[in-house]
Amino acid sequence: MSAQPVPVGIIMGSQSDWPTMKEAADLLDTLGVAHEVRIVSAHRTPDRLWDYGKSAVDRGLQVIIAGAGGAAHLPGMMASKTRVPVIGVPVQTRALSGVDSLYSIVQMPRGFPVATMAIGAAGAANAALMAAGILALRDPELAARLDAWRAELSASIPDAPERD
């Protein structure tokens, strides 16, 4: 019997992106969504990027979360290589606070979209939630887990702020 394909690929340009992208991996773990994690750099490992994108459909990937910082070409290049939806996470940089990453990812030409999240950890977590929402369209059990996660978050928000 062949193993179930892993539906979500989390890729990042560098080991230094991991503290940010871990937010996505942890949230997918919480929601029970199987995923793989790889370092794939648009600039340092372009052949790896090409192979990953070329094989994504055949391997059964349904969503790719791609995080990169600075001249963040990884999500866009991945979107050019596969029709699997790509969710881009701009990693916060020291020099320009991640605005460079955001602009590199968000401003795609017509025809090759990248669903671009917020800069940094919140963006990585939201990428996981977006991926889960896409998969939940055809997975009622995941849909229930995602609804429960959202309800729990809402319930944790107090009605009024604590006043000093």
Contact positions toward ligand RP5, by CB under 6 A? 13-14, 16-17, 41, 68-70, 91
CB 19 within 8 A of CB 125: no
| Min separation Cβ 78 and ligand RP5, Å | 12
Annotated binding site for substrate: 14, 17, 44
| Min separation Cβ 66 and ligand RP5, Å | 9
| Min separation Cβ 17 and ligand RP5, Å | 5
| Min separation Cβ 20 and ligand RP5, Å | 8
Bridge partners of residue 64, in order along the sequence: 9, 86
The residue among 16 and 97 lying less far from ligand RP5, judged by its C-beta, is 16
CB 76 within 8 A of CB 111: no
The residue among 7 and 90 lying less far from ligand RP5, judged by its C-beta, is 90
The residue among 39 and 143 lying less far from ligand RP5, judged by its C-beta, is 39
Q: Tokens 């990428």 map to which residue? A: 127
| Contact residues for 34 (Cβ-Cβ < 8 A; gap 6+) | 4, 6, 7, 8, 28
CB neighbour class for 93 (10 Å; exposed up to 12, middle 13-18, buried from 19): buried
> Count of residues for the chain?
164
The residue among 14 and 126 lying less far from ligand RP5, judged by its C-beta, is 14
